[in-house]
C-alpha cells in the first residue's frame, strides 16, 4: 500500500483555485497532461479537530468528591487505579492531584483480580472480538470485575462499557 504524501499548495494560486472549487462543489476532477490522465483531485471529508479537555481545577475535584459521597448505593471500587494515577501525572502539579486521588480512594475497598475475573475477562474479550467491537483490555477488566462482584459501574465512558453484556453502569452528569 502506498502512502499519500501531503503537499502544501498555499503558494500556488492556480492549483489552490482548483482545489477550492473541488472542495466547494464536492466533485472530483481528473487532471490531464496532453490528453493523458495523470492524477485525480477528489474532495475529502474535513478532519475533526480533537477536542481538548480543559484542565480540572482543585475546586472541581472537591465538588466531585462531595458528589461521590451522595452515591453510597453505587459501588465505585472498580475504578482503574492506574488510570487515576496516570491522570494525576498529566498535570503541572501532580502531587496536588495525587493527594486528592488518594483521599478519594481511601474511602473505598480495592478489589484484586482473581481467576474467575480473568475468565470473565477472556469471555467478554472473545465476545467483543467476534463482534468486531473490541475495547481496551483495561475497560474489559473493569467490566469483568464489576460483573463478578455484581457492581454498578460509575463511568463517563458509556460508549465502551455499553458493549459489555449485562454490565450495569451509571453515567454521572457532567
Strands 29-33, 152-154: pairing kind: unpaired
Judge whether 9 and 16 are in contact, CB under 8 Å.
yes
Domain residue extents for the chain: 11-46, 58-170
- Spacing of C-alpha 55 from chain mean position: 16
pLDDT in tens, 22-79: 888 888 888 888 988 888 888 877 666 666 666 666 666 666 555 555 444 434 444 4
3-class secondary structure, 108 = coil
- Domain 58-170 belongs to what architecture? 3-Layer(aba) Sandwich (3.40)
pTM of the predicted protein model: 0.49
Amino acid at each position: 500500500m502506498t502512502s499519500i504524501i501531503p503537499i502544501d499548495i498555499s503558494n500556488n494560486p492556480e492549483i489552490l483555485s482548483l482545489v477550492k472549487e473541488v472542495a466547494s462543489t464536492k466533485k472530483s476532477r481528473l487532471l490531464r497532461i496532453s490528453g493523458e490522465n495523470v492524477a485525480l483531485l477528489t474532495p475529502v471529508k474535513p478532519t475533526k479537530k480533537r477536542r481538548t479537555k480543559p484542565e480540572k481545577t482543585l475546586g472541581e475535584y472537591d465538588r466531585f468528591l462531595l458528589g461521590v459521597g451522595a452515591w453510597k448505593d453505587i459501588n465505585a471500587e472498580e475504578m482503574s487505579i492506574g488510570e487515576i494515577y496516570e491522570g494525576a501525572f498529566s498535570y503541572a502539579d501532580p502531587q496536588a492531584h495525587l493527594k486528592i486521588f488518594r483521599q478519594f480512594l481511601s474511602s473505598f475497598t480495592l478489589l484484586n483480580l482473581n481467576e474467575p475475573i480473568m475468565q470473565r475477562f477472556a469471555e467478554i474479550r472473545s465476545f467483543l472480538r467476534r463482534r468486531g467491537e473490541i475495547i481496551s483490555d483495561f475497560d474489559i477488566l473493569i467490566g469483568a470485575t464489576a460483573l463478578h462482584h455484581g457492581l454498578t459501574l460509575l463511568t463517563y465512558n458509556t460508549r465502551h462499557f455499553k458493549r459489555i453484556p449485562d454490565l450495569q453502569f451509571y453515567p454521572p452528569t457532567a
